[in-house]
Amino acid sequence: MEIINTGFGLSEEVIRKISSWKNEPEWMLNFRLKAYKAFLTLSLPKWGPDLSFLDFNKFIYYSKYQTEKKKEWKDLPEKIRNTFEKLNVSEQEAKFLNGMETQLDSEMVYSQIFEETKKKNVILTDLDSAVKQYPELVQKYLGKLVYSNEHKFSALNSAVWSGGTFIYVPKNTHVELPLHTYFRINNKNVGQFERTLIIVDDNSSLQYIEGCTAPVYSEDNLHAAVVEVYVGKNAKMQYTTIQNWSDNVLNLVTKRAIVEENGYMSWIDGNLGSRINMKYPATILKGQHASAECISIAVSHNDVNQDTGAKMIHLAPNTRSTIISKTIASGNGIANYRGMVEIRKNATNSYSHVKCDSLFLNKESKGLTFPHEKIQNNTSNIEHEAYISKLNEENMFYLMSLGIDKKNAKNMMLIGYIAPFSNKLSLEYSIELNRLLELEIDEED
């Protein structure tokens, strides 16, 4: 099956070629070109791990299989079906899921949404299709939360984005089953730049789950995604990510939500793998009584740098936020927490709780905490607690005295440690996470 791509390097010609291949309207080409100009002038972020080694000319910015997006599993080319089946994304699973989008490299290849969801007028499609089918919605929301000139990677994504998910949940609509998306980088030296745009309108609710994987190559892959989520009045949104990139992926992601009055936003963020992972889901609490939580885990092993956390910005009175961060470091891995909580002047009677726990499995692993917390009124409170630990030898001894071998005893303790995260998952995803965690830690044994 033939693959087409733009070749190595980034230029205005490459961006025009991407837009032309996609047959995009002029306003989207202009959006891309404006972002590219910003990309050329912006420096690399000064926070987080060192990225000075990045050579943007060593990546392919658009790659796709020569196949159209399919509605039926059987219509996919055999090679793509085999790829997903090896990853347990099977036809049976796809039929069970309420809605599913799958993306290989730069393009969506499989799309399905059940009749029940269609009857509720919920829109689930890839963003490329939404640009053509729902231009008014896309132009209203795209780039209004994460600006194209905000930092170098938001500019890069805005210039070369491809694929990603678009969801619109109308007012007074509750989606009972989760909607799913699966992303996979399938070729070496390929950048993946999906863009996700989700709008949950007033008095509505949605659960969204995304999974990410990539095979191991000797060269780096670049993943620089952008997520924008709009949560209306009295609306609820849960965004779950289980990321299992291989250790050659540079994962540099910007995720942001804005929540109106009485709305609720939940980020459930799992981070395994990646050579470097920089991800800090952010929530802007715009309306009174809006609330948000971010519960995350980050697991690092040899030569893996996990730089993760969350951001909460309180703009309105009586808003609430919670950040729970669990990191695990083994080998010479690094697992840092980097977070921000700001309660602004008008956000009176607001409250935020931050809890950062770090677990180190050996003497070589390390992690740091970089909290930024600021209150601008006298009626609000921020609580911050942090805990650093290693596996409790007495508990290990107790479990082993019951006939449990050392490996399983260790895994049981790790599963207990991440319980605040895994308890938010369905049984199937919780089991899968435990397996992934076991594989990650086994690499150091």
Neighbours of 123 (CB within 10 A): 18
Burial of residue 415 (CB within 10 Å: 0-12, 13-18, 19+) is middle
Per-residue pLDDT of the chain (445 residues; tens, 9 = 90+): 456 788 899 999 999 999 999 999 999 999 999 999 999 999 998 888 999 999 999 998 987 755 555 555 555 555 445 545 554 554 444 443 444 455 544 444 444 555 667 788 999 888 999 999 999 999 999 999 999 999 999 999 999 998 888 999 999 999 988 887 766 555 555 678 989 999 999 999 999 988 765 555 446 788 899 999 999 999 999 999 888 777 888 999 999 999 999 999 999 999 987 899 999 999 999 999 999 999 999 999 888 999 999 999 999 999 999 999 999 998 899 999 999 999 999 999 999 999 999 999 888 899 999 999 999 999 999 999 998 888 877 888 888 888 888 888 887 888 888 888 888 877 666 776 777 777 666 554 4
Give which of 285, 323, 270, 256 is closest to 435, Cα–Cα: 270
pLDDT score for 442: 59
* pLDDT in the model for residue 71: 53
pTM across the whole model: 0.87
Q: 91 with 80: CB under 8 angstroms?
A: no
Q: Residue 89 and residue 209: Cα distance in Å, rounded?
A: 14
pLDDT at 411: 79
Half-sphere exposure of 299 (CA within 13 A, CB side): 27
Q: 244 burial class (0-12, 13-18, 19+ CB within 10 angstroms)?
A: buried
pLDDT of residue 92: 42
Contact 266, 235 (CB under 8 A): no
pLDDT score for 190: 66
pLDDT of 109 reads 42
For 22, 88, 108, 246, the CA distances from 111, given in Å and listed in that order, are 18, 17, 8, 25
Residue 197 is predicted with a pLDDT of 97
Bridge partner residues of 197 (DSSP): 166, 228
pLDDT at 98 (0 to 100): 41
N-to-C CA span, the chain: 40
